Structure 1
Amino acid sequence: MVLDAKRDKAERFLMPAAKALRKVDPNVISLMALILAFLTGISAYYSYEHWRLLLPSTSVLVITSGYLDAVDGKVARISGKANKRGDFIDHVFDRYADIFMIGGVALSGWCDIHLGILALLGVLMTSYMGTQAQALGIGRMYGGLLGRADRIVLMFFVPMLQLSFTAITGDMTFSLLGSEISIFELMMAWFAVIGNITAVQRALYTWRALGGR
């Protein structure tokens, strides 16, 4: 999954909202996205006990947060308010959003805490390598197997898949290789493994791009 490579094609889905929100301070939009990310984490955390209500709300919250996060930069450019402070705020809020959303799942009854920690590590290191490349003058890096857009899409669909599975079978988990796991844990395992692979990919690309600098 490399949805971040399709960023240009996503413009047509983002620009109508960006134009409609052009009079709104882009930092306010970033803050709204962060608040929704926090609510996503809360919803995910409590969804194990209240899955019929909170699994759908988790999906709605995460996709709305992700959409607003994608729109804020467009609004900044359209309104002529794009600046380094706004970019800095956006990066900081994105990392907190990742912690809230992944952390909510990691601490919930859906996921083994050790797997959750590895997933959070993979997500944060992927993002760190992308921004570190920018800090070193190479440019913001979105490449690799697991970008932020991929994570948002997965976190939208997985709660709905878990909801469908639990509603149909009455079970929270299923048996795989002798272990009982949830669909959420499959997602977190993907984040843990592919996230760290993506971080290494970006690190190697940055290392080569730096050359003898």
Structure 2
Amino acid sequence: MVLDSYRPITDRILKRIAMRLKGVNPDVFTWLALVFAILTGYTFYTGKESFLLLASLLVGISGFFDAMDGALARVSKLASKRGDFLDHVLDRYADIFIVGGLMFSPWVDDILGFFAIIGVILLSYMGTQAHALIGKRDYSGYLGRATRLLILVLAPLVHYFLLRIGIVEIYSFTFLEWVMIGFAFVGNITALQRAYNTFRQL
């Protein structure tokens, strides 16, 4: 929801790119998004300081491919239930690989990472569960996927530069741990909010 005001701009840009890629199966981009998400998770997992910059780039590429599959499907008139289903399934795997990579990195406590994953997955699940039960997806809240990906592009960069100037922790937590705390708190609160919104309409 936070980035919704910019959506018309990004949609126009993606549409122009998609028009040049007609003929390519949108599912190719769906799978590429997952591949780059896996690579992102691995770069976090390695714990190499310089890889934080690479992780930021890989998240951005994964997010771009994830946005392109839908744009290409629309302009090519190839949008389908199968494509939508595949996109949602692989998006959840991508979320797990990226946040899981952070969880197993030396910069994030396992417990914080665990609750962050719960928040991210339940947040997405409640949105699609609303669609299954009341026929309309619930994308309310402040931690939609576009927002999460933007945070995950910027967070490794900030963490890297903090390390370079000798700042390892801020009030007993690393910067990336603060990001995980945000994902855990906002994600779970928003998931419960979506669950409540759906329950009221049943």
Q: TM-score range by the shorter chain?
A: over 0.9
TM-score, normalising length from structure 1? 0.90
In angstroms, what is the RMSD of aligned CA positions?
1.4
Q: Deviations over 1:112-159 (max 9, x none)?
A: 001100000000000000110111133122211211111101100000
Question: What are the equivalent positions in structure 2 for 1:120-199 lying under 5 Å apart?
Answer: 120-169=117-166, 171=167, 173-176=168-171, 179=172, 181-199=173-191
Question: What are the equivalent positions in structure 2 for 1:1-213 lying under 5 Å apart?
Answer: 2-4=2-4, 6-46=6-46, 48=47, 50-52=48-50, 54-169=51-166, 171=167, 173-176=168-171, 179=172, 181-210=173-202
Alpha-carbon distance in structure 2 between the residues aligned to 1:8 and 1:201: 26
**C-alpha contact (below 8 Å) 1:5/1:143 kept by paired residues:** no
Residue identity over aligned pairs, in percent, reads 46
* Closer, same or farther: CA 7–124 of 1 in aligned 2, 3 Å: same
**C-alpha contact (below 8 Å) 1:4/1:150 kept by paired residues:** no
Alpha-carbon distance in structure 2 between the residues aligned to 1:59 and 1:109: 17
TM-score, normalising length from structure 2? 0.95
Q: Deviations over 1:148-207 (max 9, x none)?
A: 1111011000000011111122x5x2240xx2x211101000000000011011111112
Unaligned runs of 5+ in 1: none
Unaligned runs of 5+ in 2: none
Secondary structure at 1:7's aligned position in 2?
A: helix
**C-alpha contact (below 8 Å) 1:33/1:66 kept by paired residues:** yes
Alpha-carbon distance in structure 2 between the residues aligned to 1:138 and 1:43: 39
Alpha-carbon distance in structure 1 between the residues aligned to 2:13 and 2:138: 22
Alpha-carbon distance in structure 2 between the residues aligned to 1:76 and 1:175: 44
Q: How many residues align?
A: 202
Alpha-carbon distance in structure 2 between the residues aligned to 1:7 and 1:207: 28
Q: Which moved more, 1:137-146 or 1:183-192?
A: 137-146
Alpha-carbon distance in structure 1 between the residues aligned to 2:66 and 2:112: 27
**C-alpha contact (below 8 Å) 1:38/1:100 kept by paired residues:** yes
- The Cα of 1:19 is off from its aligned counterpart by 1.5
